[in-house]
Structure 1
């Protein structure tokens, strides 16, 4: 089960948790702190200390706090809300598109950065020019919540506004810039590191397995040979809780019971053993490639 608190982050729980809306696909929102907007190429300014921003989000700025504050120069993290709660990093108009909540998770990351910041005498114009320390760990943790490695509105490359249409926001999971979020007027972060490279596939000598299709794939009545292959693996793992051998390629209550048995076999409990596949348990099941 993915951990609601990033293991590498300092846990600074603000409380005031509120659930996200699992009826929408998982998302991440990329920000930068932008705390010294007056900096220019001709007149750069020193980056504020990480502790200052952490103090801001636990003090006067707690009403604007994201999930994660990330220092791309040192790889330090502070986390203010669990992944399962909304955070408060974007404006959310009452009765609008629920910008902070519209997803299984809506994980918001504030990178400690502003254009033309100066660190140890060196000036950085873009976030991607920084060392981006800790990005691999941050990306891996967010990916564990099934946030896909896509930018539905395009990867940010400039400080410009490009508002996402409300229907796309509701239906497309992935990464969004603050500049993309409906009901907001910000233009950050201007750039963002590339997604961490994943292996393109196993070597010919290794078995090939079905990649995790995402939790939203497993809807009642969904018919797919992937579900049939999963059925076979659950039976092979002695997790057969089916009451019928018919329609083995259609997701139903027998699949939920049998997959819950598999999750329990892995040692998962509570909500982590609810019968809905997650990435870790799916990878452990090793469903043969279709």
Structure 2
């Protein structure tokens, strides 16, 4: 049974749920946030994930997708369940209900604009980014019966290519915002290839350390898990330690550094308290010990 809420996503339910139109096949619609206009000659810094999360839960509720995806960190936040329509495409009165035309119509906004700058590096296309988390996102959307096809072709440029009405009604799969009837956008320009899902061998060891539970992280706890976590926080530029001594012992430096990691993922206020939770831990990818 597919899950209405993506397990890897922060849940930020904006309410106002409404059903989709089950007479149409299941589909997904790919967007980029395109929130700044940059060029190769004048790149601009990527807008923080938390800013877009705040927009879609605030003044931008009327434009919210199902999922906001950060392809640089692999963070997700979800605003509507898969069983509801979202509101990220224009829907003309009396026409095709573009936000609802499918058993599901899962809309994804990737946090990206062409020539965005992240940690000093400039990215011209979405596919040039690490696309972290794409495997999780693709698997969740596939669980809702969205086939791995682009009826109008996989997007390869920022250009308009409106889907004919009969094809839109008849064919499920993945559509670019540039393909959706009644709309005039040209995004996303590119999108990662579908993920091949190889079957893991029986009893395969996990690549990353499983979440040990929040109660594991007590002052004075000594563990190789904490030492590996320390290394990952440093690698993610969340180093708020005053010393590398005692890297395997949980203490105040770990709390400060983990808070920085939670903030990098878009957590705010009391949600960025420095205590690991399953979502943030899984995104950190601590090597298995």
Same fold (TM over 0.5): yes
Q: Does 1:135 align with 2:134?
A: yes
| Corresponding residue for residue 7 of structure 1 | 7
Q: Does 1:58 align with 2:53?
A: no
Give a deviation string over 1:170-207, Cα, whole Å, max 9, x none: 1100000000000000000000000001459xxxxxxx
Task: Identify unmatched segments of 5+ residues in structure 2.
Answer: 200-289
SS at 2:158's partner residue? coil
Matched residue pairs, number? 200
Q: Does 1:26 align with 2:19?
A: no
Give a deviation string over 1:79-100, Cα, whole Å, max 9, x none: 0000000000000011101100
1-structure distance, mates of 2:198, 2:68: 28
The 4+ residue runs of structure 1 with deviation greater than 6 A are none
How large is the RMSD of aligned CA atoms in angstroms? 1.2
Matches within 5 A, 1:108-187: 108-187=107-186
| Corresponding residue for residue 280 of structure 2 | none
Calculate the TM-score normalised by the size of structure 1.
0.68
SS at 1:108's partner residue? strand
Calculate the TM-score normalised by the size of structure 2.
0.68
Give a deviation string over 1:38-85, Cα, whole Å, max 9, x none: x10000000000000000001111100000000000000000000000
2-structure distance, mates of 1:82, 1:167: 27
2-structure distance, mates of 1:98, 1:156: 22
SS at 2:8's partner residue? coil
| Corresponding residue for residue 95 of structure 2 | 96
Task: Identify unmatched segments of 5+ residues in structure 1.
Answer: 201-290
| Corresponding residue for residue 236 of structure 1 | none
2-structure distance, mates of 1:79, 1:118: 25
